[in-house]
Amino acid sequence: MLAACQEQKEIREGLTGKPAAIKDYEARLRHVLFLYHRAGAHSSKGQRKTAKAMFNRADAAFERTLEFLQEITETDPSLCIWFDRDTDWAAGGKLDISPTRMPSVIASRSLARVGGKGMMAVKRNKREVKLDSVRSVLDELTLASD
Contact 100, 33 (CB under 8 A): no
Higher pLDDT, 4 or 66: 66
Q: What would the pLDDT profile of 17-48 be if each residue is shown by its tens digit? A: 788 999 999 999 999 999 999 999 999 999 99
Mean predicted lDDT score pLDDT of the chain: 79
Confidence grade of residue 112 (pLDDT, cut at 50, 70, 90): low
Higher pLDDT, 74 or 120: 74
Share of the chain above pLDDT 90, in %: 35
Sequence letter at residue 101:
R
Q: Considering its fold, how many domains does the chain have in total?
A: 1
The percent of the chain in helix, strand and coil, each rounded to the nearest 5, is 70, 0, 30
Q: What residue numbers bound the domain in which 73 lies?
A: 2-145
Predicted TM-score of the model (pTM): 0.64
CA–CA distance, 71 with 58 (Å, rounded to integer): 20
